[in-house]
Amino acid sequence: MLNLSELSSNIVEKKASGILIKKPANVFFITNFSGSGYLYFSVSGEIILYTDARYSERAANECFKNVKIIEIKEVFKDVASDILLRAGLSGFTSILFESDYITYDEYISFAKELGNKFSFIPADGFLSKIRSVKDKKEIDYIIQAVSVSEKAVISMLKKIVCNNESSGISEKKASLIYKKNLLDFYSAESFETIVLSGRNSSIPHGLPSEDKIISEHGVLLCDFGAEINGYKSDETFTVHLGKPDKKFLDVYDTVYTAQQKAIAKIKPGAKFGSLDKTARDYIEKRGYGKYFTHSLGHGVGLDIHEYPYVSKKNLDTVKEGMVFTVEPGVYLEGEFGVRIEDMCYVEREGARIITGIKKDKYGVESLL
């Protein structure tokens, strides 16, 4: 999965001896280790995992063969002393660290142990860009996560629509049904499931309420995902459980059309900012511009939100092998909200939608 030469080249560019990593997703990506520890990747391609006795046997079972495992007792002292020995042979005088995850206290402690011979400098997150291009195995895991999440959510929807309980099903209970369904598939949530109905659907990242009963005749927005071998999925649909009024139909058509226009523009070399602009301009044209309050999408992989970010601020270009969401939304406070989210895999000729639930219709019957 990891292109070692690409990572080494980035370290050489920074004139560093290596990089100290702690973020679990990055440690897993490089080593296949799912426990807790620090990782040092040297400019020469050495991969050293530092962990304690709680995880040493687990690390031996999980890690790739090219990973050297060192059991530590005094974290900062033991890790720093080993890195100093390796860095001293590199010819460089600086050591990178994962500045977006290692805390300030950790930084101070490591810097103290490293002393004055080496400068301890922040990395700029280049690992996130390397991780953004997925290989076939990673894509397979993501597609499996999509399949599991969709089976679980359809089963949840059936219980809502076919519910015979006089008290009805609350948003919170629906989300718990979804979580239980995932457990039946030996999976788990990739993030806190969002089930919002009626007026609550206008809150982009609202929390499911224990008190809000899902109406038989209103809007229902579900944002959900699953996880397989660390890889995640993310999908949102909005349906109407009854007969919608003209305003809902207009908003739904606006959001769906904006999404499809943006997806049609996805291809290697396209600018992320232009994808966002395509959807945003259309929503603005339909009169709902100020109600689209977030960026168009984000990468999904070992993290639920990772590079690339499909935003007007991102001037980077789309690359073949990337996976990211396209999720425009319109949120009318006190009325309802509509968000439609699919995951797209970038192929040579354009985007392949890897989420399976069709969003061209708003009726819940089309999903069951």
For 117-134, what is each residue's pLDDT tens digit?
Answer: 888 999 978 899 999 999
Whether residues 161 and 258 fall in one domain: yes
Residue 163 confidence (pLDDT) above 70: no
pLDDT at residue 124 in the model: 77
Q: 90, 114, 131: which is the final residue of a domain?
A: 131
Whether residues 142 and 30 fall in one domain: no
The secondary structure of 137-203 as a DSSP string is: HHHHHHHHHHHHHHHHHHHHHHHHHT---TT--BHHHHHHHHHHHHHHTT---SS--EEEEGGGGGS
> For residue 338, how far is the Cα from the chain centroid?
21
pTM (two decimals): 0.94
Whether residues 223 and 351 fall in one domain: yes
Mean local confidence (pLDDT), 10-27: 93
In sign, the C-alpha dihedral spanning 96, 231, 153, 324 is: positive
pLDDT bracket for residue 1 (50, 70, 90): low
**Residue 291 CB: number of other CB atoms within 10 A?**
18
pLDDT at residue 260 in the model: 98
Whether residues 157 and 280 fall in one domain: yes
Whether residues 67 and 165 fall in one domain: no
Residue 166 confidence (pLDDT) above 50: no
Q: For position 147, which CATH number holds?
A: 3.90.230.10
Q: Tell me the residue range of the domain where 115 lies.
A: 4-131
In angstroms, the CA 254 to CA 183 distance is 36
CB-neighbour burial class of residue 233 (10 A; exposed 0-12, middle 13-18, buried 19+): buried
H-type helices in 14-103, by residue range? 24-31, 56-62, 75-87
Whether residues 355 and 296 fall in one domain: yes
N-terminal to C-terminal alpha carbon distance within the chain: 37
**263 touches 344 (CB < 8 A):** yes
206-264 confidence digits (pLDDT tens)? 999 999 999 888 999 999 999 999 999 999 999 999 899 999 999 999 999 999 999 99
Q: 78, 101, 131: which is the final residue of a domain?
A: 131
**265 touches 274 (CB < 8 A):** yes
Q: What percent of the chain has pLDDT over 70?
A: 98
Whether residues 240 and 261 fall in one domain: yes
Q: What percent of the chain has pLDDT over 90?
A: 84
Q: For position 100, which CATH number holds?
A: 3.40.350.10
pLDDT at residue 212 in the model: 95
Whether residues 95 and 143 fall in one domain: no
**220 touches 364 (CB < 8 A):** yes
Whether residues 39 and 185 fall in one domain: no
CB-neighbour burial class of residue 193 (10 A; exposed 0-12, middle 13-18, buried 19+): buried
Whether residues 83 and 114 fall in one domain: yes
